[in-house]
């Protein structure tokens, strides 16, 4: 499995609603450039990892990347071909609940053009619309 919490208070969580805007984690805190979510969405552990790998690969060893999201919500799934009822399924994978405005990744130590290209490639791995931001423009 990809990223997941070491331990959780409850093994299964309720679904909840993806509404509203993120005010916490909506400003750049570490780097000069960032990738900001423009929609509410789930961001799975595999998607986060794929985006991170894409970022790292295109940075070619330079710069520093911060991942500002962590998948802490378990999503359950019932086995294939199981009849209805008989309770809630087992935890299958983990997601981060993303609200619009949330910074997903931050980057520093590279020129603007390289950062923009890296973030664009990473954005293709991300299941929501995003926006490239810099310290001066957001």
Could you report the per-residue pLDDT of 33-66, keeping only the tens digit for each?
Answer: 999 999 999 999 999 999 999 999 998 888 899 9
Give mean pLDDT, residues 66-82: 95
Q: Contact, 133 vs 36, CB < 8 A?
A: yes
Q: What is the pLDDT of the chain when averaged over all its residues?
A: 93
Residue 138 confidence class, pLDDT cut points 50, 70, 90: low
Question: What is the CATH topology of the domain spanning 33-78+86-134?
Answer: Aldehyde Oxidoreductase; domain 3 (3.90.1170)
Q: State the pLDDT at residue 137.
A: 61
Any idea where the domains of the chain sit in the sequence? 33-78+86-134
What residue has token string 């199981």? 82
Strand ranges (DSSP E) for the chain?
A: 33-37, 41-44, 64-67, 73-77, 90-98, 103-108, 130-134
- Residue 1 pLDDT > 70: no
User: Looking at residue 3, what is its pLDDT?
Assistant: 87
Per-residue pLDDT at 75: 95
């Amino acid at each position: 499995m990809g990223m997941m919490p070491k331990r959780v208070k409850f093994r299964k969580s309720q679904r909840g609603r993806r509404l509203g805007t993120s005010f916490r984690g909506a400003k750049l805190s570490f780097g000069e450039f960032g990738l900001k979510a423009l929609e509410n969405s789930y961001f799975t552990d595999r998607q986060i990892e794929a985006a991170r790998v894409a970022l790292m690969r295109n940075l070619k060893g330079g710069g520093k990347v911060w991942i500002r999201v962590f998948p802490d919500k378990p999503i359950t799934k019932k086995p294939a071909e199981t009849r209805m009822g008989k309770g809630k399924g087992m935890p299958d994978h983990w997601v981060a609940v993303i609200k619009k405005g949330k910074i997903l990744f931050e980057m520093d130590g590279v020129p603007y053009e390289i950062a923009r290209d890296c973030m664009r490639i990473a954005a293709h791995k991300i299941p929501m619309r995003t926006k490239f931001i810099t310290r001066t423009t957001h």
